[in-house]
Amino acid sequence: MDIQTLTLALGDSTHAGRRFDVMPIAGDEPVLQVTVSGAEETPVYLTVTDSQILCLAYLFDEQELNPVHLNELHENMLRLSVPMPLSSLGKTGDHYVVYGALSPTSGAAEIMQELVTLAENAIDLLQTFEDYLA
């Protein structure tokens, strides 16, 4: 599934009653910003490589966290990452993220399922980790 096909597929589809607003963001590597209806506060960024479709939502920056409880937060993130459906926790630069990766041969339905789950997980995680914010 390439980015263009996916842009068209998402724009015309609903999944589990959710709609998708898709905004392509120009750059060396094409990236889509996908807003899932009902989870507008946590847009998902999606990019396709030869080996995976990477979907990623941003949670918070390192500067936003209370440094005193950083180790405890990391421990909780690692533990929560395992049972969390279809998503894992990670870090890129200073940003803490929740992400999911799919095979590049995945169909539109699987990708939509990932997007909905990821956006919902991101909202749940923001609430869960609220107390760690400075």
Binding site for other proteins (CB under 8 A): 23, 25, 27-31, 33, 43, 45, 47, 49-52, 54, 56, 58, 92-93, 95
Distance in Å, CB of 33 to other proteins, minimum: 6
Least separation in angstroms between residue 117's CB and other proteins is 18
Closest approach of Cβ 69 to other proteins, in Å? 23
Nearer to other proteins, 16 or 33 (CB): 33
Measuring CA to CA, which residue among 37, 50, 51 is closest to residue 112? Answer: 37
* Helices (H), ranges, the chain: 3-11, 70-81, 108-128
Which one, 15 or 58, has the nearer CB to other proteins?
58
23 or 134, CB closer to other proteins?
Answer: 23
Minimum Å gap between C-beta 46 and other proteins is 8
Check if the beta carbon of residue 128 is closer than 8 Å to that of residue 92: no
Q: Is the dihedral of CA 51, 55, 60, 63 positive or negative?
A: positive
CA distances to 2, 63, 98, 117 from 31, rounded to whole Å, are 11, 25, 16, 19
Q: Is the distance from CB of 35 to CB of 42 less than 8 angstroms?
A: no
Residue 69 or 126 with smaller CB distance to other proteins: 126
